[in-house]
Amino acid sequence: MAKIEKIKEQIGWLKVAFVIFTAILVSLVGWYVIYYDNQSIADIKNI
C-alpha cells in the first residue's frame, strides 16, 4: 500500500503544478489579447 500512496501523492503534486501552469498560460494569453487589441497597425509592424 505504501507504493500506491506515494503514487497518489505524486499525482496530487502534478495536479497542483498543472493548475499553476494553466493559470499562468491563461493569464499570458489574456494579457497578449489585451495588448494586441490596444495597439494600432503601425505599432504592430514595429514589433
Q: What is the pLDDT of residue 5?
A: 94
37 is in which domain, residue-wise? 2-45
Do residues 19 and 11 lie in contact, with contact meaning Cβ atoms separated by under 8 Å? Answer: no
Cβ contact 36:44 at 8 Å: yes
Q: Mean pLDDT, to the nearest integer, of 10-22?
A: 97
Q: Please tell me the total count of domains within the chain.
A: 1
- Which residue's C-alpha cell is 495588448? 35
pTM above 0.85, yes or no: no
Instruction: Check pLDDT > 60 for residue 1.
Output: yes
- Give 40's DSSP letter: -
- Please determine, for residue 25, whether its predicted confidence score (pLDDT) is greater than 90: yes
Please give the Cα distance from 6 to 30 (Å, whole number).
36
| pLDDT tens digits, one per residue of 31-47 | 888 877 666 655 656 55
Return d(Cα 5, Cα 12) in angstroms, integer: 10
